[in-house]
Amino acid sequence: MNDEPFSNLPFIKREKKPREKGINYVRAPVMVGTCIDDYLEAYSNLVDIFKISGKQGAQMSKKSLERFIKTCKTFEVKVALGNPVMDVALSAGKEVVDDFLDTVLRLGIDIVEVSSVSRSLDDDDMCRLIENASNKGIKIINEIGVAFAHSEVTDEEIFIERVKMQSKRFINAGSWKILLESEGLTENIEKKDYRWNIIDKIISPLELNQFMVEADDQDVLSKYIEIYGPGINMMIDYNRLLKMEDARIGYGPSQFLWGKVVKY
C-alpha cells in the first residue's frame, strides 16, 4: 500500500531508508514525549536520524530519553547524541569516555557526535576514539569547522589544509560521516561574506556521501542543493524539515530551485 496521499503527482522519488546519501539529520525539539510520536507519524519517511541536541540527553529524565529512543526505533529512525555530552566526558578522561560509550550502547543510541571545533584533541587521540566507538558498534559523526568555540574568524585564520587533512584521517579511522559546522561559513556572518569557496575546498577532496553539512537557512540549504545536488546529506532543525525536502525535490523553498532539480 502506498502511504503517499498524492502519489500520482510527478514529485522526485526519494531513496528508501536506510539511505547513505540525501540523509536528513534532524535536531529534535526540546519538547519530546507524544509530540515526537505525532511528528514521526507524519514525517518518519523523511527523517533518517533524530539528533538529541546539546546537553538535552543528560538533562531529560531517563524515562523520557528511553521513550524517545523507543519511538524513533518504531519508526525506523536512528538516534544520535550531540557533541556537548561527549565534550563533558572527554574533560574527565578516557575511563569516563569509555563508560559513556558503554552507556550509549545500552540505551540504544546509534550515533555519537565528536567535535573538533568545541574541544582541542590530538588527531591520534581522536582516531583512537573513533576506532574504539566503531568497535563497540557506535557510529561516529566528526564535527569539523573553521570557527573554534564559535569564535569570529578572518580569512587569514582559516586553516583549510588542516581541516581537509583531519577529514580524510577521521574517515580512514572509521568515522561514519564528517559534519561541516556552518559557524563562520554561512552562520553569524553577513550573507555577502558567505565562504562558499572555502566550503567547496573542504568538501571536494572526499566523496560527497562522506560529508554532512549544517544548513540553518532556507537559502543556504537551497544553495547546497544547487551546487551539490539533492543527494547531499544535511543537518537541519526539525522545523525546517519540509523546507529541506522541498529543496530536494525541486519545489522550493527558494524560487531559483523551482522545477530545476532532476534525477536519472
| Extents of the domains making up the chain | 24-257
What is the pLDDT, as a whole number, of residue 42?
Answer: 96
Q: Using alpha carbons, list the distances in angstroms from residue 158 to 166, 207, 217.
A: 14, 22, 22
Q: What is the pTM of this model?
A: 0.93
Q: What is the pLDDT of residue 133?
A: 98
**pLDDT number for residue 184:** 94
Position 1 scores a pLDDT of 36
In angstroms, rounded to a whole number, what is the distance separating the alpha carbons of residues 264 and 262? 7
| DSSP per-residue string spanning 234-260 | EEEEGGGHHHHHHHHHTS-SSGGGTT-
Domain 24-257 annotated CATH 3.20.20.70: yes
Q: What is the pLDDT along the chain (264 residues), one digit of tens a residue?
A: 347 787 777 778 888 999 989 999 999 998 888 899 999 999 999 999 999 987 888 899 999 999 999 999 999 999 999 999 999 999 999 999 999 999 999 999 999 999 999 999 999 999 999 999 999 999 999 999 999 877 888 889 999 999 999 999 999 999 999 999 999 999 999 999 999 999 999 999 999 999 999 998 889 999 999 999 999 999 999 999 999 999 998 887 777 788 788 888
Query: What is the helix (H) or strand (E) element at residue 180, kind and residue range?
Result: strand 177-180
